[in-house]
Amino acid sequence: MPMVIDPICEIECEAIVQAIDVSPDGKWMAWGGEDGTIRILDMSDSPTQLDPFNVEDSVTHVQFARGEVIIVGTHTSDVYGHERLGGRRWTHAVGGGCDLLGMSDDGTLIACIDGGRHVHVFTENGVKRGRFSSGELIGLSVAKDGTGIAVCDDEGNVYVLDSSGNLRWKRTPIQEDGEVVSAMCFLHDGSLLLSREVLGITPSEVAQIALERWSSTGEQLYSEEIASRSVCLIADGTGALSGHFDGTVTKLSGELEQQNLWKSMYTINDLRRHGDDLLVASWFYLHRIDAEGEEVWRCEHTGLVESIVSNQDGTRIALSGDNQNDYTRENRILWIDPNATPYALSADSEIDADLLEFAEGSELKSPVASADDDLYADDGDDLASFLTPEEQKKLNAGKSSVDDSELFAMLDDEIEQMAKIEDEETDLMAGLSDDDFISHVPPTADAGTDLVVDASQDGTAIVVLDGSATSPGSQGIEQWIWRDGLSKQIGDTPMVKVRLPIGNHTFTLTVSDPARESSTDTITVQVQGTTREDTYDLLDD
């Protein structure tokens, strides 16, 4: 039987947990969801919720930085630095929200990739340190000591930056098309370990999936083929730990020699070192695995566990997950002591009490009537209560109100009527071929591509928001709505002309058809210059 542990407590959540973090000392927990509210809990004794605060946008990232500053990334707006008690310290403007966010171990260097695929580097006090742009950036890793930042794009290019966002070196893909980088991490000496996969056909001498280690100056040191792509890499001593898509957990030496430690039936979502043991998030479980590869215990969550969040010494763990079922969605956080005493899970622990008699090994007892009881006895009183006085009289008379000949005649009439109706019905397959039966195709909004423009001498730029590439669907478009980053409606036509100040601006196009089916798309406009205003104007064509 598997060994399990129970959480210290279960925290019920009124929204889906999209981002969560625990302070380094384990005294505080903060989490946020789609409703834009950041909840803070005092975990010193029993979880006590403090006054929440709102950022007016869906939350994508929450992390504790140095000085108990809470870094909040949002879906479409900016990155914020908040006091633990809720007061906002600073705002860092980004284009189209915060898609990815990373931080150094001491919480002094923060890097994020925004919706416009630009890298922003800043401190825990919101001071800008640098910015970098190149291609469609989709991956981010920050060195533990804050000395380096690695980003990758959707074509397999990897860019390593210094702590000010300046490019140190670049790794180009082996093939021009169809290569992706699935995971990255910095090792103890500043070198970069990455997992790359070629999605197309490769020459025989090129591995389809491989691990690569690159020096801090951009030289490839080692390359090793692997059977399944790595989705989680963390530094471990002079090497690393790797969690794979096929559920394998592997220990890697500095030369990328592989040692299989454990195997799950499901993809590895996250890894953490806990002394000599490992903490592994996979499927609905958090597993603790010892040095021999044996499971010490497991803890089950009602949702799919995506990440492991702990305090600095790993003595407390916050576990969140989402079962992705709109009907049975249970939102909760488990507060776990990884050193809790495990116990064996009974084979019948998941069986309801009224079904225990049917569990394996249980003796099934057949129902037996008493000697003076008839299981099917009926004195007629129960049946009589459902009949009218006239029906009760006929029942007591002991004969049917309709004889057999009448019954058969009625049955023949019914069959004839059904045959006539069947002849008059239209062909079902002919109906299926009618144009009206074709499924409704909703419209698809297209707000255009993200724009980068230069401001004129007055510090503004005139930009046309063009949604004319929108697909009308099967019924055409009845309504066009353009909204700005504050959800204020600014237009109701396919194209809208606006005057924008210097900075990053987000606009959302929503289209609807006569059946009220709708679709949205977002565009980010970056106006470059040296001055900045806080307003923009709509312009007439």
Q: Range of 32's domain?
A: 3-343
Give per-residue pLDDT as tens, 310-327: 999 999 999 998 877 767
Domain assignment present for 401? no
Residues 158 and 301 in one domain: yes
Residue 271's domain is classified under what CATH number?
A: 2.130.10.10
pLDDT at position 84: 87
Q: Measured between alpha carbons, how far is residue 466 from residues 446, 461, 470, 475, 491 in Å?
A: 8, 16, 9, 21, 11
The string of pLDDT tens digits covering residues 45-73 is: 889 999 999 998 999 999 999 999 999 99
The DSSP-derived string for 176-220 is SSSEEEEEEEE-TTS-EEEEEEE-S---TTS-SEEEEEE-TTS-E
CATH of the domain at 490: 2.60.40.10
What are φ and ψ of residue 189, in 5° steps? Answer: -100, 10
**Domain-embedded: residue 493:** yes
Cα distance between residue 15 and residue 9, in whole Å: 18
Does residue 366 belong to any structural domain of this protein?
A: no
Number of neighbouring beta carbons within 10 Å of residue 524 = 24
Higher pLDDT, 348 or 151: 151
Q: How is residue 306 written in tokens?
A: 């995506």
Q: Which pLDDT belongs to residue 64?
A: 97
Q: Which residue has the higher pLDDT, 337 or 434?
A: 337
Work out the pLDDT band at 262, boundaries 50, 70, 90.
very high
For tokens 């994508």, the residue is 60
In a domain, 194, yes or no: yes
Give the tens place of pLDDT for each residue, 169-202: 999 999 887 899 999 999 999 999 999 999 888 8
Q: What is the pLDDT of residue 361?
A: 56
pLDDT at 403: 56
Q: What is the pLDDT of residue 433?
A: 47
Q: Are residues 188 and 318 in the same domain?
A: yes
If asked whether residues 334 and 445 sit together in one domain, one would say: no
Per-residue pLDDT, 256: 97
**Residue 72, helix vs strand vs coil:** strand
| Domain C-terminal end among 291, 324, 343 | 343
Residue 523 belongs to some domain of the structure? yes
Give yes or no: residues 205 and 68 share one domain.
yes
Q: What is the pLDDT of residue 533?
A: 46
Q: How confident is the model at residue 330 (pLDDT cuts 50, 70, 90)?
A: confident
Is the pLDDT at 360 greater than 80, yes or no? Answer: no
Residue that finishes a domain, picked among 302, 319, 343: 343
Between 419 and 98, the more confident residue is: 98
122-136, 213-227, 392-406: range with lowest mean pLDDT: 392-406
User: Dihedral, CA atoms, 288, 30, 323, 234, nearest 10 degrees?
Assistant: -40
Query: For residues 106 and 24, is the Cβ–Cβ distance under 8 A?
Result: no
Q: In which band, very low, low, confident or very high, does the pLDDT at 378 lie, cut at 50, 70 and 90? A: low
Query: Does the residue 468 lie in any domain?
Result: yes
Query: Which stretch of 241-245, 442-446, 457-461, 537-541 has the lowest confidence by average pLDDT?
Result: 537-541
In this structure, the answer to whether residues 324 and 462 fall within a common structural domain is no
Q: Which of 320, 343, 366 is the last residue of a domain?
A: 343
pLDDT at 396: 67
Mean pLDDT in residue range 296-314: 93
Which residues in 248-405 belong to E strands, given as ranges?
248-252, 258-263, 268-274, 277-282, 285-289, 295-300, 304-305, 309-310, 317-322, 332-336, 343-344
The pair of structure tokens assigned to 228 is 């399944």
Predicted confidence (pLDDT) at residue 38 exceeds the cutoff of 80? yes
Decide if 407 is inside a domain. no
- pLDDT at position 375, please? 46
Average pLDDT over the chain, rounded to an integer: 85
Q: Is the pLDDT of residue 438 over 60?
A: no
* CA quadruple 178, 251, 240, 103: dihedral sign: positive
Look at the chain and report how many structural domains it folds into. 2
Reported confidence tier of residue 237, pLDDT bands at 50, 70, 90: very high
Query: Please, which residues have CB within 8 angstroms of residue 155's CB and are 6 or more apart in sequence?
Result: 135, 136, 173, 177, 179
Place of tokens 């096929």: 246
pLDDT tops 90 at residue 143: yes
The pLDDT score that the predictor gives to residue 473 is 85
Cβ–Cβ under 8 Å, residues 180 and 153: no
Is 60 exceeded by the pLDDT of residue 541? no
Q: Per the domain annotation, does 466 fall within a domain?
A: yes
